[in-house]
Homo-oligomer: A and B are copies of this chain.
């Protein structure tokens, strides 16, 4: 692993700006930096980043000064703190506006003053990254002027890293946090990760898997905390609050108390003491992430309590310190009988949590996956968004590509996330999009935002597939401002990563934007999902989950396919949506093609809005998808010579694997449905 490699440097390449008037202009403007002493103390990371960035891009060493020079141009940095009520005084708060910054170019005598004012040290940091990004993008100083305030208050990353160094659903090597049951001694790579996250506006991170095993359960003990505190310090410098995933049964497992019942006073006291202990070591600790009563994890159900009881008990312990409880809504019956068609996993989150609206304490946030199932290539949006007006909510995305090619296939997910954020829930009224709900002000949430499972590991390029870096970058940028377009983010990432060559920017952006539809086209069709190898979730296995306990079925028989989730004849899942979404999904005529099989069981001869039958659609998209996957590698090969060999080859080999694997997908899916339906392909292509 070489930190100087282009693979490692991701979108923070800070390439030298070619000799030009623009470079001279920047060198003149940024050669001197005025930072008030008080500000400087809280902005070490920002100052370091500036120093590094200028040196690398301008080949000059910036001169830092306490006071403005008498004449000439300079950069001025300052903090205009917002002191909000209820903010945890020791650490960061979660008030709107706290992370804002402004950047202005002001004429001053014969020179110019670029003035960067943050509303907090974090704001300064974001402003610095904005400045450096603009320079790398080739913008002129006046184009950088901006008043920026992130739309979402909580902008979080969840690591699913285990203390043994493995990563659940990790596809880029082992953990950068842990090795052999311990937190790594050398945190320099964690620091680089913090830089990456901060550069795109992330302000919170949970550093261990939501499935909390034995060692991680002990992170909150007197022995574990000094180690966790080392990591918290690294992130603190970059404005990122550290959270831990906790084991709900910890009082039982390590507390020496015979129960984890949230209403038991001993349990409550144990958590209160635990919170005190944590904040002694980490004064700005973010809080807990909790996966409870899900997939065999312990939770309040064992004691006849509900999720509000469980979450509130933890929240009460954290409240005096300003900590948050992020409680995951991924709760469903994972021991379902596939023979029972009345149970519908898609209903589970809403059925479990909807009735609890209003019962959670102010510092509890419910974390809700974007769809009702589990990060499939295509799902409807979770109906929980808009259904709980008196509960803080966090939208959960998955940057790691568990079901979308595991960073061996290219799948730029920002367009998918955009669709989720832009979905019109019709809660309250038409036009209430998911992003309006998650942002918090609509329902007056105390704190809300977005979280996502990370896609990084200890491979040199961080993300397995070098182009998968775009997903991490895009996630941060999108939740900072959900109105950014997926194309704009792709363009930005490509320029920062590979430079401003027009051909490179066009082609890579084109690849990214095409990749999600391509991946969808050769995998499971029309929103039905799954059809992957059980457990691994890579590669096709149409019936892999069909007779399992996981509640993930397609019900394909020789006549048709799909899950009837209508109110009239199915599981009634559609009733969890507001009108008119409910009616759209209920109606075979109105239901959008891409979700048809999620909501309806139809014969193979059913004609889609597209004019094609379901079976012919399957054949066409799979032949077309495999061809398009091959096309991706052809586009890339046209860039040979324009991209350094390391990255060129790394991407090339992944695209070759995708090309071959897409054919495998094509043939398995087509053969499966051809054998089952007996319907020949209209165009007579080869099916086995």
A320 at the interface (CB under 8 A from B): no
Are A675 and B556 also in contact (CB < 8 A) when A541-B543, A542-B543, A543-B543 are?
yes
Within the assembled complex, what's the spacing in Å between the Cα atoms of A678 and B557? 8
Residues of chain B within 8 A of A558, CB atoms compared: 558, 675-678
Scan residues 630-688 of chain A and give those whose CB is less than 8 A from a CB of chain B: 664, 667-668, 671-672, 674-678, 688
- Residue among B557, B664, B674 making CB contact with A676, cutoff 8 Å: B557
Residues of chain B within 8 A of A547, CB atoms compared: 540-541, 664, 667-668, 671-672
Residues of chain B within 8 A of A534, CB atoms compared: 533
Residues of chain B within 8 A of A544, CB atoms compared: 541, 544
Within the assembled complex, what's the spacing in Å between the Cα atoms of A671 and B533? 20
A504-544 vs B, Cβ < 8 Å mask (1 yes, 0 no):
00000000000000000000000000000110000011111
A502 at the interface (CB under 8 A from B): no
Within the assembled complex, what's the spacing in Å between the Cα atoms of A559 and B667? 19
A339 at the interface (CB under 8 A from B): yes
How many protomers of this protein does the assembly include?
2
A27-59 vs B, Cβ < 8 Å mask (1 yes, 0 no):
000000000000000000000000000000000
Within the assembled complex, what's the spacing in Å between the Cα atoms of A489 and B492? 76
Closest to A340 in B: B688
A338 at the interface (CB under 8 A from B): yes
Within the assembled complex, what's the spacing in Å between the Cα atoms of A664 and B339? 10
| A569 shortest CB reach to chain B, Å | 17
A378-393 vs B, Cβ < 8 Å mask (1 yes, 0 no):
0000000000000000
Closest to A674 in B: B557
| A198 shortest CB reach to chain B, Å | 42
Within the assembled complex, what's the spacing in Å between the Cα atoms of A540 and B533? 14
Within the assembled complex, what's the spacing in Å between the Cα atoms of A71 and B58? 113
Within the assembled complex, what's the spacing in Å between the Cα atoms of A559 and B558? 10
**Most chain B beta-carbon contacts within 10 A, residue among A542, A547, A558, A678:** A547
Scan residues 356-380 of chain A and give those whose CB is less than 8 A from a CB of chain B: none
Residues of chain B within 8 A of A672, CB atoms compared: 543, 547
| A239 shortest CB reach to chain B, Å | 45
A545-558 vs B, Cβ < 8 Å mask (1 yes, 0 no):
00100000000111
User: Chain A: interface secondary structure?
Assistant: loop
**Most chain B beta-carbon contacts within 10 A, residue among A338, A556, A557, A674:** A557
Closest to A678 in B: B558
Closest to A540 in B: B547
Within the assembled complex, what's the spacing in Å between the Cα atoms of A338 and B672? 13
- Residue among B540, B541, B559 making CB contact with A678, cutoff 8 Å: B559
| A16 shortest CB reach to chain B, Å | 46
| A193 shortest CB reach to chain B, Å | 33
Residues of chain B within 8 A of A688, CB atoms compared: 338-339
| A55 shortest CB reach to chain B, Å | 47
Closest to A339 in B: B688
| A681 shortest CB reach to chain B, Å | 15
Closest to A679 in B: B558
Residues of chain B within 8 A of A668, CB atoms compared: 547
| A420 shortest CB reach to chain B, Å | 32
Within the assembled complex, what's the spacing in Å between the Cα atoms of A677 and B338? 20
Residues of chain B within 8 A of A675, CB atoms compared: 556-558, 676
| A61 shortest CB reach to chain B, Å | 52
Closest to A533 in B: B534
Closest to A667 in B: B339
Within the assembled complex, what's the spacing in Å between the Cα atoms of A667 and B540? 23
Within the assembled complex, what's the spacing in Å between the Cα atoms of A338 and B671? 11
A596-619 vs B, Cβ < 8 Å mask (1 yes, 0 no):
000000000000000000000000
Within the assembled complex, what's the spacing in Å between the Cα atoms of A672 and B542? 12
Within the assembled complex, what's the spacing in Å between the Cα atoms of A558 and B558? 7
Within the assembled complex, what's the spacing in Å between the Cα atoms of A446 and B212? 60
| A556 shortest CB reach to chain B, Å | 7
Within the assembled complex, what's the spacing in Å between the Cα atoms of A534 and B678? 26
Scan residues 49-92 of chain A and give those whose CB is less than 8 A from a CB of chain B: none
Closest to A686 in B: B339
Within the assembled complex, what's the spacing in Å between the Cα atoms of A271 and B590? 74
Residues of chain B within 8 A of A542, CB atoms compared: 543
A331-352 vs B, Cβ < 8 Å mask (1 yes, 0 no):
0000000110000000000000
Within the assembled complex, what's the spacing in Å between the Cα atoms of A557 and B679? 12
**Most chain B beta-carbon contacts within 10 A, residue among A559, A674, A675:** A675
A169-209 vs B, Cβ < 8 Å mask (1 yes, 0 no):
00000000000000000000000000000000000000000
Within the assembled complex, what's the spacing in Å between the Cα atoms of A348 and B543? 29
| A324 shortest CB reach to chain B, Å | 41
Within the assembled complex, what's the spacing in Å between the Cα atoms of A674 and B557? 8
| A602 shortest CB reach to chain B, Å | 15
Within the assembled complex, what's the spacing in Å between the Cα atoms of A688 and B547? 10
| A355 shortest CB reach to chain B, Å | 31
- For the complex with contacts A544-B544, A557-B674, A559-B678, 17 further pairs of A-B residues with Cβ separation under 8 Å are A339-B688, A540-B547, A541-B543, A541-B544, A541-B547, A543-B543, A547-B667, A547-B668, A547-B671, A547-B672, A556-B675, A557-B675, A557-B676, A558-B676, A558-B677, A675-B676, A676-B676
Q: List 25 A-B contacts (CB under 8 A).
A: A338-B688, A339-B667, A533-B534, A540-B547, A541-B543, A541-B544, A541-B547, A542-B543, A543-B543, A543-B672, A544-B544, A547-B664, A547-B668, A547-B671, A547-B672, A556-B675, A557-B674, A557-B675, A557-B678, A558-B558, A558-B676, A558-B677, A559-B678, A675-B676, A676-B676
Residues of chain A whose beta carbon lies under 8 Å from any beta carbon of chain B: 338-339, 533-534, 540-544, 547, 556-559, 664, 667-668, 671-672, 674-678, 688
- Give the 6 A-B residue pairs with the shortest CB-CB distance, closest first: A557-B675, A547-B668, A339-B688, A558-B558, A543-B543, A558-B678
